[in-house]
Amino acid sequence: MEAPPPTNEELVIQITKNLTNTYFTFGAQSPQYRAVLDALRAVIEDADTRIHAQVELEVDADIEGLRALLERGLRVGW
């Protein structure tokens, strides 16, 4: 059985560890450090994008629910 993909939190933790190790091994100006830092930024940006998309879906669903409630209320003559 294949293991589930890591969560964003697990990815951030692992990349942060890699970033620390790369920093102490190669230094902050090294290409290796920059590559790991870019990977960390990408994971954070991806998570942020997915969170915002999920919030938008939830808000859209709430608005649709309120519209349906309003339409029903108007039909029964509130």
pLDDT digits 0-9 by tens, 20-70: 999 999 999 999 999 999 988 898 888 888 888 887 888 888 888 888 888
- Count structural domains, the chain: 1
On whether residue 21 sits in a domain, the answer given is yes
On whether residue 33 sits in a domain, the answer given is yes
pLDDT at 76: 66
On whether residue 51 sits in a domain, the answer given is yes
On whether residue 20 sits in a domain, the answer given is yes
On whether residue 2 sits in a domain, the answer given is no
On whether residue 3 sits in a domain, the answer given is no
Global model pTM greater than 0.75: no
On whether residue 18 sits in a domain, the answer given is yes
CA distances from 6 to 11, 14, 73, 77 (A): 6, 10, 46, 52
Q: Which residues, including other chains, have CB under 8 Å from residue 11's CB and lie 6 or more apart?
A: 43
